[in-house]
Structure 1
Amino acid sequence: MTKRILIVDDEADICQVVQASLEEFGGWQTFLAHSGAEGLTVAQAKRPDAILLDVSMPVMDGFQMFEHLRENPDLQDIPVILLTSKVLARDRKRFADLSIAGVITKPFNPLTIWQQVASLLSW
């Protein structure tokens, strides 16, 4: 069974680079969303095996989307990996307090991000 991953990032170029790596090298099926609200809609419709979630997005940021996922019984068990350029000590503490699968920092290597995802999810 092919793994299915939802990529949520407001930057289209980041989505495309991650999508290419996950599909080409990981062999996974991907879905894209460019906002937190769109991400919730796609997650509900597609029920992905994992979500790569950008932290910094307008309107609904990654933390808010994560809270909505955890409040929804149908989506609360989907593993979430945060994509972020935020690596300050206070951000690390906030990440540690969340039940996330892991954090991938930007900038990332497009040729190896699929390996980071596989490692964090034990795939």
Structure 2
Amino acid sequence: MPNKPATTPDESVAKKSILIVEDDTDIGEFIVHAFQQETPYHAFLAEDAFKALDVIKKSKPGMFLLDYQLPGMDGLELYNLLHTTEGLEDTPVLFMSANFSEKELDRLRLPYIEKPFELDDLLKEVDNILNR
């Protein structure tokens, strides 16, 4: 009888990638590391909206985690561009920021988490969004 290769628990969960757009590199790298260590998701970081747009030319993420306040183009403007990009129209998003327009995000029915947030709350919220 042939030996069956060992499997890891992650193989039973479809891996999804998350593009994190965060201009504070320390926060961004912390979040990426947390996703790599604590979840089955692959996370990668873009420090601004323009780098995020470059990333999606090469890879289509399964979710966007967007800082609301970004230099040059805010997270909402980036969201609008991403969701008019072929193949990304239905890609889920979660906004994060210490200063944003709750009224605007509520009007658009976009999910958000306020900074500072508990890491467990962020991970749970992303998991909930990706498993809807």
TM-score band, normalised by the shorter chain?
0.7 to 0.9
1:53 deviation in Å?
Answer: 0.3
Task: Give the structure with higher Rg (CA).
Answer: 2
Q: Distance in 2 between matches of 1:16 and 1:112?
A: 17
1:98 deviation in Å?
Answer: 2.3
**1:12 counterpart residue number:** 25
Point out where structure 2 has 5 or more consecutive residues left out of the alignment.
1-13
Point out where structure 1 has 5 or more consecutive residues left out of the alignment.
none
1:41 deviation in Å?
Answer: 1.6
Question: Of residues 67, 84, 90 in structure 2, which corresponds to 1:77?
Answer: 90
TM superposition score normalised by structure 2: 0.81
Native 8 Å contact 2:92 2:129 kept in 1: no
1:76-115 matched pairs, under 5 angstroms = 76-86=89-99, 91-100=101-110, 102-115=111-124
RMSD: 1.7
**1:64 counterpart residue number:** 77
Q: Distance in 1 between matches of 2:41 and 2:120?
A: 15
Q: Distance in 2 between matches of 1:71 and 1:99?
A: 17
SS in 2 for 1:74: coil
Q: Distance in 2 between matches of 1:120 and 1:74?
A: 18
1:99 deviation in Å?
Answer: 4.9
1:112 deviation in Å?
Answer: 4.2
Question: Of residues 39, 43, 50 in structure 2, which corresponds to 1:37?
Answer: 50
**2:59 counterpart residue number:** 46
Query: What is the percentage of aligned positions where both structures have the same residue?
Result: 29
1:67 deviation in Å?
Answer: 1.1
Cα offsets for 1:36-95 (capped at 9, x unmatched)? 0111221232101001000001101101101111221222211111011125xxx11200
In the alignment, structure 1 residue 2 sits paired with structure 2 residue 15: yes
TM superposition score normalised by structure 1: 0.86
Judged with a 3 Å threshold, the aligned counterparts in structure 2 of structure 1 residues 97 and 73 are, in CA distance, closer, same or farther, namely: farther
1:111 deviation in Å?
Answer: 4.3
1:32 deviation in Å?
Answer: 0.8
Paired residue total:
119
